[in-house]
Structure 1
Amino acid sequence: MNTDLIIAEHFIRSDIRESVQIIERLEYDEIVDFISEVPLDLASKVLLQMNNYKAAKCLELLDIQVAVELIAKLDLMSIDLLLRHCDEAFRNALLDRTAPNIARKIRQRLQYTSNSVGNVMSLRVFSLQKDASIGEAIGLMKKERELIGSEIFVTDERARFEGIVTITDLILGESKDQISSILKLDIPKVFADDPIVTVRNSPAWSKYRTIPVIDRSEILIGSLHFSDVSRIDMMEDSELKKETIETGNAVGELYWIGLTGLLQSVSKSD
């Protein structure tokens, strides 16, 4: 690794936001060369801080295998935001080379608009059938412990959402009784194609941390977590800051000139 690259990495890691503002002033080929040179963890942090459109265009210009390795460092929501700004042919080629479990989840999210519940919902959801016995339900829960919360969704035999049962009620219930005997009805639910803005301030969050997501046939297809809704607000605030923060003083301008020179030196070196 050359000295200029080491120094540039140090500057970027010490102040990622300020550094990315400077990086975004470079030409696309210079940004791509730099991203290709630095470690993947740093490259992923740079992409996350960049304007989504610019980041997507840089992703398209990278070697396809580097792009695959790079998005593997990102979470699903960040991948989704980037790929929505990419050319469809590139997006499909990238997902074809991505781990199948990740590619499937991303393709599912991309079916919905970026401001919809379906784009944010979790596809990993554990549910019980209402005609199962409490004993059978507890046996199933032991096999899927990582997906179990304090409340569990319940469906009918056609996977249509019916209500919820609580862990407490299951533990206190009789093993031979059916789930339907302890089922709680009138549970708030949302459609996958609902705009996310309609559920941000829902009164349901005062009682539930997770809300079932259904399609227009009332089939249970996912769950919406309060933490994911809150995260969208944080990401939008972050994107707004990207667009409004400027390097306005003399010290900042000198910093920009110095780091720009380093980055250009890195991108032109072999």
Structure 2
Amino acid sequence: MSTDHLLIYQFLQEHSNIAIPMIERLEVDEITALIEDLDSDQAVIILAEIAPFIAGKVMEKLSKKKAIELIELLDPQIAESILQVTDKSISDQLLEGTSKALSSYLRHALMFAKDQVGAHLEPYVFTLSDRMTVQNALTLVKSSKAPVRPHVYVLNDNNKLVGYIKLVELLKADPETEIHSLMEEVPRTVLASMNTSDLLESWAPALIDMPVIKLNGTFLGTVSRASLSKLEKTTKKVDHPAIKAGNALGDLYLIGLTSLLGRSSDK
């Protein structure tokens, strides 16, 4: 490891709250170049901590060899969040090069039946980190290529949904205020394995988009009532106890396989 790389590694380890927001403000091509140049054990720190909607675009531009190395080093559930936003043709190629156990886990995690919410989610969603300051958040808002909605979801370091913040409140807040002190509790979340018909039947009329999570709280994206309503008009309603039981067993399978891989989503 060169002296320069050692200094970068130490800075990332000791001051990630400063380094990561600075990196997130860079263009995707610049972040990609930085990650390509760093050793994988340094690069994985950056890829794991930057927002998934940015990491997914970086993954698309990395060399295949580097991308596969990083997928192997990432926590499986963080890798899932990133690959969820990565172009499917690219993610399929990358999974061909990963270990059999990890590839099996990720392919299963990224696959949903047509009548499940996860098959219709929008993964490319602008999010903020709960460790950010308002100033850092507003800089990211201005430079974001992802659509910024009136309600911005907030994630922790493990990509788990911890709250949301109103964009208007973000604009009015003191620049030095930390995001976690401003965020509000999410009134309702939706499991990716939930049946689309069940969700539409229980949808709160005031909501346009709802946050989609895994059983463990990992944020996957959002789903809109409009997209599901269009689907409902063209497909037959599916509401069978055996299917719902299968969805639940699928989530349990993912949790069990994660344990077998010897990884944990919590740091």
**TM-score normalised by length of structure 2:** 0.47
Structure with max Cα Rg: 1
**TM-score normalised by length of structure 1:** 0.46
